[in-house]
Structure 1
Amino acid sequence: IIIGKTDVRSFPDRKNIGVDRFTFGFTVRDSPDFFINVTAWGNDGYICGLSTSFSTGDCVIIENPLVSNKDPEKGERFCPTTPSPYRLMVTEAHSQVYLCADVDTMDRLLPLIHLPVKDSRDFYSLGDIVANGQGLDGTVINVLAAVKSVGYLKQFITSDGRKGQRLEVKLFDDSVSSFPLVCWDREAIQLVQTLPPKETVLFIADAKISFDSFRNGMVATINSKTIITVNPDTRESSLLFSYAKELSESGALDEGEKPEDVTVDSITDVYTVSQLKLKARDSPEPFFGITYSFISKLALDSSVSKVIRNRCSRCKFMVPEDTLSCSNQLCPGSDQAFSAVTGFDLLLDFTDHTGTLQCCALRSPVADRTLGCTTEEFTCLTDNQRTAMKWKFLLERCKVYVKILPSTKLRTGIRGVVLACSLADPGEVKQHMSALLQQL
């Protein structure tokens, strides 16, 4: 099974002036303990055709490769580290590589794609990387992290006229809410573009760590030595996967995006509900906006346990009332005294003449300011008082500042987080609605 693959590259042929030789590498595995590097050499047509005939995760048959010792000078500086003392070379004249069609063989090989190529316990957490800072600049290490978001593919032309591409992935774990992983190779980009954010864990063997002076922080980069294992079959990965899933469902992961957030005063773009949905569909990145909409669902008169919830103060996991510990095995404060924070945890729908955006999160402290009361004051209200508070907003036109994010959990594919909400000024609504109608 192919567990890693590099882009096609060309080099001037020293024997034939003016002619280029083409090459790419891939790494194959046929058992839990053994994997080996393969290099293909040839002309443009042969190498490009061979490269496009299989991808990472495919099962292949390699016939008549040349077996040679590893290069004692280059070693494995430019290719993945393998347990084999040998490497394989494929050429058009002697070798063949083609997809395996035997179902039994494929069933045996496919689980190997989820086994890391390094010791599953030998990795840095993102917190370790940040804590070490520039002390890790230029090193190659293993990383275990979950995928938070996958950015846009950016294409460019280099100074010598070659086409290049770049894609950035945001990673997270229980210690850091957002950490950049940069991909330059087309093969790596194609792999990460298929990964569902917030429900994928990666074991990244031999990622290069460097200090980015522009960000003033550390960044990880995929290179020709790197092997990415998607959703590794390990205990450490399973714990992180559970953490990521619960954090995503709770919405706490989005609360951890404070450095990327903007102040409410700086949000000026006004949208209808349909425009919010359309932009979210076309843009995988979070964005901010204002909508003048009616609150069409606000369950303030539900039981208090559905309106007010407790969360672990360190990892934001939801915890039952009166609990004395956090159930998250990856909680960074597991060895410290437990503490919880109590706050409003509401879902609301807002509607205008173009549609409804459902299940928008309204949480403390935004909810406290919107409702004009604290959780302690709310618990002292009678049922009639809670109902009266609900009808102060329900079916009223409100000015809602909202952050829109992609969501794989909701049928609509998007969800909103309310950043501020208040009853709208009628004159302001008329002014903005007139402007929207002129745009149409």
Structure 2
Amino acid sequence: MNVSSWGMIIENPLIQRKETEREEKFSPATPSNWKLLLSESHSMVKVCSPYEVDTKLLSLIHLPVKESRDYYSLTDIVANGHNLDGRIINVLAAVRSVGEPKYFTTSDRRKGQRCEVKLFDETEPSFTMTCWDNESILLAQSWMSRETVIFASDVRINFNKFQNCMAATVISKTIITTNPDTPEANILLNYIRENKETNVADEIDSYLKESINVNTIVDVYTVKQLKEKALRSEGKADPFYGILYAYISTLNIDDETTKVVRNRCSSCGYIVNEASNTCTICNKDSSRLKSLFLSFDLLVDLTDHTGTLHSCSLTGSIAEETLGCTTNEFLAMTNEQRTKLKWQFLLERSKIYLKLILSHRARAGLKVSILSCKLADPTEASRNLAGQGHT
């Protein structure tokens, strides 16, 4: 059920004129100069289904609260960069994918959740918007990848230094209109329908490759220091990043029982369930499954003189760059060739850029993704063996 289709009946509200200067920082902006105040003793709010709502009112659900031309394109946001850092603006965009809600507990024991939505338009293939409150996360779960357009009024724009890009955040002022009925939104909707199956190959990289400038990662760790930092970070949801000089100690690319290459959905980039042949993230209906592409999906162990990080994720184009071959080239190899390839990396010290996230589902409570892995310069590696990121 689309959560935005429900209506409500409000009884005995107090009607007041808005005090714009006092309220514009936190309250959602609306075209009206009036506001409703509800009291527990006199007012009542009743939620009603779409069938009980006047059909004339239902059409208002698809009208943004801001002027339909008052928005930034995604390329405008990217181009303006730091000039928009911290600004509150409006965005019109299509939904590329909706991530699963991620649950976390803060250092003071408060529970929370976040959900990352990937947006796109005619000008930009991928842009991140993060939802933190239950209402916007619930709304986002109703959006269909490459079929939904949203007008998000009053989202906050910030520069994400870890991903080296601009990103949007849903805040208390934000009002999101799903599939707005405006000329601008209809043009964008026609664009995504006409281009749904084209240029998939060009976008594969953006699905799987972390959009993080590894040059911004400077802290060097040992395995022991990374595990200690993870323990100190318990309760925090944000990822942290680091450089590790280590050996790949497990690389099962020549084991026939291990699945090294998997099918991914071209719409959202997630691994397709092989038993049902469906993408459970963006489309549960197998008859409407989008096209697929092959991608490396490896779990490797990283070892230095202080310990081992188990089951580190090495996927997509990062795996291709590391191994020096494409998925098709790898599939054409014999077992002997794959074994030879494996021994080019085993027990050879590499310089590895990592992204680490605390996760109760992951082994040892730590999910580790490899952002870059190349054989290390011996002099540079010996100079950094003690690590420094823990200071």
Q: Which residue of 1 aligns with 2:270?
A: 286
Q: Which residue of 1 aligns with 2:87?
A: 139
1:161 Cα deviation from its structure 2 partner: 1.8
State how far apart, in whole Å, the 1-side matches of 2:89 and 2:9 are.
Answer: 31
Instruction: Pick closer, same or farther for the CA change 1:406–1:105 going to 2, 3 Å.
Output: closer
Amino acid aligned to 1:421: N
> Please, which runs of 5 or more residues in structure 2 have no aligned partner?
211-250, 295-325, 340-391
Q: Which of structure 1's runs of 4+ aligned residues deviate more than 6 A?
A: 269-273, 354-358
SS at match of 1:256: helix
Q: Which residue of 2 aligns with 1:158?
A: 106
> Please, which runs of 5 or more residues in structure 1 have no aligned partner?
1-53, 290-353, 359-402, 432-440
Which of residues 116, 125, 139 is equivalent to 1:168? 116
The answer to whether structure 1 residue 62 and structure 2 residue 10 are counterparts is yes
Larger Rg: 1
Amino acid aligned to 2:102: K
1:426 Cα deviation from its structure 2 partner: 5.8
Instruction: Pick closer, same or farther for the CA change 1:170–1:425 going to 2, 3 Å.
Output: closer
Q: Which residue of 2 aligns with 1:421?
A: 328
State how far apart, in whole Å, the 2-side matches of 1:72 and 1:132 are.
Answer: 28
CA contact 2:94–2:147 (8 Å) conserved in 1: yes
The answer to whether structure 1 residue 98 and structure 2 residue 5 are counterparts is no
State how far apart, in whole Å, the 2-side matches of 1:124 and 1:267 are.
Answer: 47
State how far apart, in whole Å, the 2-side matches of 1:200 and 1:149 are.
Answer: 10
1:118 Cα deviation from its structure 2 partner: 1.0
Give a deviation string over 1:12-59, Cα, whole Å, max 9, x none: xxxxxxxxxxxxxxxxxxxxxxxxxxxxxxxxxxxxxxxxxx964321
State how far apart, in whole Å, the 1-side matches of 2:25 and 2:143 are.
Answer: 28
Instruction: Pick closer, same or farther for the CA change 1:357–1:204 going to 2, 3 Å.
Output: closer
State how far apart, in whole Å, the 2-side matches of 1:270 and 1:197 are.
Answer: 34
The answer to whether structure 1 residue 74 and structure 2 residue 10 are counterparts is no
State how far apart, in whole Å, the 1-side matches of 2:52 and 2:104 are.
Answer: 43
State how far apart, in whole Å, the 2-side matches of 1:82 and 1:407 are.
Answer: 34
CA contact 1:404–1:414 (8 Å) conserved in 2: no
1:357 Cα deviation from its structure 2 partner: 7.1
Instruction: Pick closer, same or farther for the CA change 1:288–1:258 going to 2, 3 Å.
Output: farther
Alignment of 1:30-41 (within 5 A): none
Give a deviation string over 1:386-426, Cα, whole Å, max 9, x none: xxxxxxxxxxxxxxxxx999567861635322564367456
CA contact 2:6–2:49 (8 Å) conserved in 1: no
Give a deviation string over 1:93-143, Cα, whole Å, max 9, x none: 101111347957431111111111111111110000000000000111111
> Could you state the TM-score of these two structures normalised by the residue count of structure 1?
0.52
Give a deviation string over 1:141-171, Cα, whole Å, max 9, x none: 1111100011121111122221111110000
Q: Which residue of 1 aligns with 2:205?
A: 258
CA contact 1:404–1:417 (8 Å) conserved in 2: no
- Structure with more contact order per residue of length (Cα contacts < 8 Å, sep ≥ 6): 2
1:72 Cα deviation from its structure 2 partner: 5.6
State how far apart, in whole Å, the 1-side matches of 2:284 and 2:122 are.
Answer: 21
SS at match of 2:156: strand
Which of residues 64, 85, 103 is equivalent to 1:116? 64
> Could you state the TM-score of these two structures normalised by the residue count of structure 2?
0.58
Which of residues 103, 128, 153 is equivalent to 1:205? 153
1:230 Cα deviation from its structure 2 partner: 0.7
Alignment of 1:156-305 (within 5 A): 156-250=104-198, 252-253=199-200, 255-261=202-208, 268=253, 285-287=269-271
1:257 Cα deviation from its structure 2 partner: 3.9
1:256 Cα deviation from its structure 2 partner: 2.1
Q: Which residue of 2 aligns with 1:30?
A: none
State how far apart, in whole Å, the 1-side matches of 2:135 and 2:175 are.
Answer: 11
State how far apart, in whole Å, the 1-side matches of 2:165 and 2:272 are.
Answer: 25
Instruction: Pick closer, same or farther for the CA change 1:88–1:417 going to 2, 3 Å.
Output: same
After superposition, the CA RMSD in angstroms is: 4.0
CA contact 1:113–1:229 (8 Å) conserved in 2: yes
Amino acid aligned to 2:182: T
Identity percentage of aligned residues? 43
Q: Which residue of 1 aligns with 2:342?
A: none
State how far apart, in whole Å, the 1-side matches of 2:276 and 2:50 are.
Answer: 50
State how far apart, in whole Å, the 1-side matches of 2:103 and 2:285 are.
Answer: 31
Instruction: Pick closer, same or farther for the CA change 1:67–1:212 going to 2, 3 Å.
Output: same
